[in-house]
Chains A and B, each alone.
Chain A
Amino acid sequence: MAQNTREIRRRIRSVQSTQKITSAMEMVAAAKLRRAQERVVTARPYTAKLHEVLERLFRSDTDFEHPFIEVSEEGKVGYVVISGDSGLAGGYNVNILRFAQRHVDSHDENAAIIALGRKGRDYFRYRGYPLLQEYINIGDLPTYIQAVALAEELTKLYHEGTLREVNLVYNKFITPLRQDPVKIQLLPIAASVDRREGEEEEVEYIFEPSPAGVLDELLPKYVNIEIYQALLEAKASEHGARMTAMGSATDNAEEIIDKLNLSYNRARQTAITTEISEIVGGAEALQGS
């Protein structure tokens, strides 16, 4: 019996130390989430306004010409898959990667994958998908500079004709408890913005210095911002998912500890009872003689 109680005590200690780790991770994720969430929320108005402006521009009766708008037939369909660098975030990585894989599979050989984050890279590499490019160690708070650097790479691939389409696949941050996988088309732009045909009347804009000049400034900015937003959304989602996953892990650990405590006490009780009955039995035997 003594053997048994010691065994249970050891298991309790082991679960407790796991619980310490998960609850620490939960708190770290919560702190990171707060920062990431703030950034997402503050960046959203700008992105929304930029969308609005672009949409109205494309609806106006000006003819635009820009490499970012033209639809090309050459090259592959690129998917930029944003995943996390580390696991222990519940379904975060698996969800987005399965979602991405479905999209990639629908294009057969014509898809190209650009993996952001270690989990995504490993996932596709393990399954034998060729990776066009990979980036790991994005960091916990993606910067605008990182987004711009990535945008440069992507637009280069697009200009060269390696890719005829660039899509971003990431988890959109809804609440800390909820992330939705989304796919948005980054390039060519017209198709993504012009999708909703408005009934509003066309507006004739004056362009300073010229329509081309404005587009040269505006479209690259749109690409940068879109990537930046995607990085922020993905990171906030990741921290949210990790917080929730670690929170429930901590709760589960608590439950296991409770159960173990119960069986520990029961085993201890049994041990004591046996001991007493042995003593009583022994004493009675002595008296009888």
Chain B
Amino acid sequence: MAEKVLTMEVVTPERHVLTTDTNGIVVPAHEGYLGVLYNHAPLVTILDTGILRYSLDGKVERMAVCGGFMEVDENKIIILADTAELAEEIDVARAMDSKRRAEDRLRQMGEKVDEARAQASLQRAIARIKASGKE
């Protein structure tokens, strides 16, 4: 098991988030969650908003990612996300707040509400809350 490791790098425009070894990851790809294991074929995919799970030696870590894309080649994973936060960095209270706000906005549809934007921010908030593991 130990030798079957991939390296994963997560970078956003604002910062370099994380470089780590992993045995496998699950990412929110464009068409649903997608798993990447050792010796995965070269792949480029667009990412959605959601939770990225990566495991190392049986331990599963989570982080919230939003937008961007991922490249996999020769057991190297590069994730270029618009935003990415590790589980322990997430401000749950803030995420809860923005979730409530997004829901409110969606409820009062009809008035000049940008539905796509409200949906997107709702998705982001949900991903953050879930990734933090404190639901």
Contacting chain A: which of B5-13, B105-113, B125-133?
Answer: B5-13
Cβ-based interface call for B94 (8 A) = no
Task: Name the A residues within 8 Å of B41 (CB-CB).
Answer: 206
Cβ-based interface call for A105 (8 A) = no
Task: Name the B residues within 8 Å of A205 (CB-CB).
Answer: 42-44, 73
Complex Cα distance, B44 from A221, in Å, reads: 15
Q: A133 to nearest B CB, angstroms?
A: 24
| Contact yes or no, A45 B16, CB < 8 A | yes
Task: Name the B residues within 8 Å of A225 (CB-CB).
Answer: 13
* Contacts A46-B13, A57-B44; A209 near B30 (Cβ below 8 A): yes
Cβ-based interface call for B78 (8 A) = yes
Residue of chain A at shortest CB distance from B40 = A206
Cβ-based interface call for A199 (8 A) = no
How many residues of chain B are within 8 Å of chain A by beta carbon? 23
- Binary interface encoding of chain B residues 65-102 relative to chain A, with 1 for a CB under 8 A from any of its CBs, else 0: 00011010100001010000000000000000000000
* Contacts A214-B69, A217-B69; A204 near B78 (Cβ below 8 A): no
Cβ-based interface call for B120 (8 A) = no
Complex Cα distance, B17 from A42, in Å, reads: 10
Q: A129 to nearest B CB, angstroms?
A: 33
| Contact yes or no, A43 B42, CB < 8 A | no
Q: Which of these, A49, A206, A208, A218, contacts B78 with CB under 8 Å?
A: A49
Cβ-based interface call for A213 (8 A) = yes
Chain B positions 12-43 with a Cβ under 8 Å from a chain A Cβ: 12-16, 29-31, 34, 41-43
Interface band, chain A: 20 to 34
Complex Cα distance, B46 from A60, in Å, reads: 18
Task: Name the A residues within 8 Å of B15 (CB-CB).
Answer: 42
Residue of chain B at shortest CB distance from A205 = B42
| Contact yes or no, A209 B44, CB < 8 A | no
Besides the contacts A49-B9, A221-B69, what 20 more A-B pairs have beta carbons closer than 8 Å? A42-B16, A43-B14, A49-B78, A49-B80, A53-B44, A57-B44, A60-B42, A144-B13, A203-B73, A204-B42, A208-B31, A208-B34, A208-B46, A209-B31, A209-B46, A214-B46, A217-B69, A218-B44, A218-B69, A225-B13
Residues of A within 8 A of B (CB): 42-43, 45-46, 49-50, 52-53, 56-57, 60, 144, 203-209, 213-214, 217-218, 221, 225, 228
